[in-house]
């Protein structure tokens, strides 16, 4: 089964939930939240070195990251992704707008007002408010000319822009000032639409349930004595909750030349220093 890592308060995660619901795909979710600093934990960084949600682990073990890329992966063979190359470019234009202009304004302002433990300065709030109004006005102008953000029908760009636009009220901004954006919220009539904050997964695990707490396997005191250095090559094993695809916690140790000093501490087993090894992770 597909596994989505992220939390319900994230608009970027909700984009993926909406897409999976649209496709009627079953998936499990692992609750990973920035407010708990979990995306920066070594276990998570082994899946996505960028330290951000969402992340999707496919049935075969491949890992998808970055919300726009994940939307494309699942939507590329649907009517949400046009066949014409020029139309595709227009969809990408608005998806890039969402990540580089829209989300850094609206999502950051919402985070500052709802989740930040230290409130930003008044100057920073004004800057975010101005940027947020600018991007909403840009959307409003575009939607005054077209029924959907990238053309005549709903596309991946609309899925990308919906969550943080709809959450504008949580950033203390009023969408009533942007009438075309308000009309565009008919997006909510899309097939199998999933409202914000709604759980779309068939099962949910906490961070530690999924990744486990790494432990060093204790040495068996009843084991026979080691006879020679050559026979004492067994490495200590790190135990954690795997998810069946080799994406366990921890990052790979740096490679060093033989006989050189290591920058990482060694575990002492039988008087010899050994490093636990981590599996490689492919990020798609």
pLDDT tens by residue, 170-217: 999 999 999 999 999 999 999 999 999 999 999 999 999 999 965 444
Cβ atoms of 110 and 167 within 8 Å: the answer is yes
Its pTM stands at: 0.75
Average pLDDT over residues 82-101: 98
pLDDT band at 80 (very low <50, low <70, confident <90, very high): very high
End-to-end Cα distance, the chain: 18
Q: What's residue 171's pLDDT?
A: 97
CB-based burial label for 13 (10 Å; 0-12, 13-18, 19+): buried
Span 117-142, pLDDT tens digits:
888 999 999 999 999 999 999 999 99
> Buried b / exposed e across 81-119, counting CB within 10 Å, b at 16+?
bbeeeebbebbbebbebbeeebbbbbbbbbbbeeeeeee
Q: What's residue 236's pLDDT?
A: 42
Cβ atoms of 54 and 65 within 8 Å: the answer is yes
Cβ atoms of 20 and 2 within 8 Å: the answer is yes
Check pLDDT > 60 for residue 243. Answer: no
Cβ atoms of 191 and 21 within 8 Å: the answer is no
Q: Which CATH class is domain 85-189?
A: mainly alpha
Query: Residue 68's closest CA among 108, 11, 153?
Result: 11
Q: What's residue 70's pLDDT?
A: 98
Q: What does the CA dihedral 183, 184, 188, 194 come to, rounded to 10 degrees?
A: -140
Check pLDDT > 90 for residue 231. Answer: no
Q: CA triplet 278, 223, 273: central angle to 5 degrees?
A: 40
Q: What's residue 160's pLDDT?
A: 98
Q: What's residue 214's pLDDT?
A: 55
d(CA 162, CA 158): 6
């Amino acid at each position: 089964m597909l596994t989505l890592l992220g939390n319900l308060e994230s608009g970027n995660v909700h984009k993926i939930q909406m897409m999976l619901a649209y496709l009627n795909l079953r998936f499990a979710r692992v609750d990973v939240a920035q407010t708990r600093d979990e995306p920066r934990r070594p276990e998570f960084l082994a899946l996505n070195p960028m330290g951000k949600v969402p992340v999707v682990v496919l049935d075969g073990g491949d890992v998808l990251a970055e919300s726009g890329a994940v939307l494309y992966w699942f939507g590329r063979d649907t009517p949400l992704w046009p066949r014409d190359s020029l139309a595709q470019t227009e969809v990408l234009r608005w998806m890039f707008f969402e990540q580089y202009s829209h989300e850094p304004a609206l999502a950051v302002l919402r985070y500052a007002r709802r989740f930040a433990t230290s409130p930003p300065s008044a100057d920073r709030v004004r800057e975010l408010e101005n940027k947020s109004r600018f991007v909403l006005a840009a959307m409003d102008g575009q939607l005054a000319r077209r029924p959907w953000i990238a053309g005549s029908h709903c596309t991946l760009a609309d899925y990308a822009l919906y969550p943080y636009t709809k959450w504008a009220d949580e950033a203390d901004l009023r969408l009533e000032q942007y009438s075309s954006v308000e009309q565009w919220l008919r997006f909510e009539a899309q097939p199998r639409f999933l409202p914000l904050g709604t759980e779309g997964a068939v099962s949910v695990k906490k961070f530690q349930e999924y990744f486990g707490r790494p432990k060093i396997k204790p040495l068996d005191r009843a084991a026979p004595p080691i006879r020679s250095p050559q026979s004492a090559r067994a490495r200590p094993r790190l135990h954690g909750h795997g998810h069946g695809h080799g994406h366990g916690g921890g990052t790979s140790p740096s490679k060093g030349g033989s006989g050189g000093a290591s920058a990482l501490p060694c575990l002492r087993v039988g008087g010899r220093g050994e490093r636990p090894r981590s599996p490689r992770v492919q990020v798609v």
